Amino acid sequence: SQVGNSTFAREQQPLKAIITNTNEVWDTEWNRAQILQYFSTYFNEGVAPGGFLWGPGFYAPYRSPQIFSEYLDPSGLDAVLV
In 3D space, the residue among 71, 69, 80 whose CA is nearest the CA of residue 13 turns out to be 69
Give Cα 49 distance to the centre of its chain: 10
Q: How much is the pTM?
A: 0.71
Q: Averaged over 15-38, what is the pLDDT?
A: 76
Backbone angles phi, psi at 3, to 5 degrees: -60, -45
Average pLDDT, the chain: 81
pLDDT above 70 as % of the chain: 72
Does residue 8 register a pLDDT over 60?
no
pLDDT tens by residue, 57-75: 889 999 999 999 999 999 8
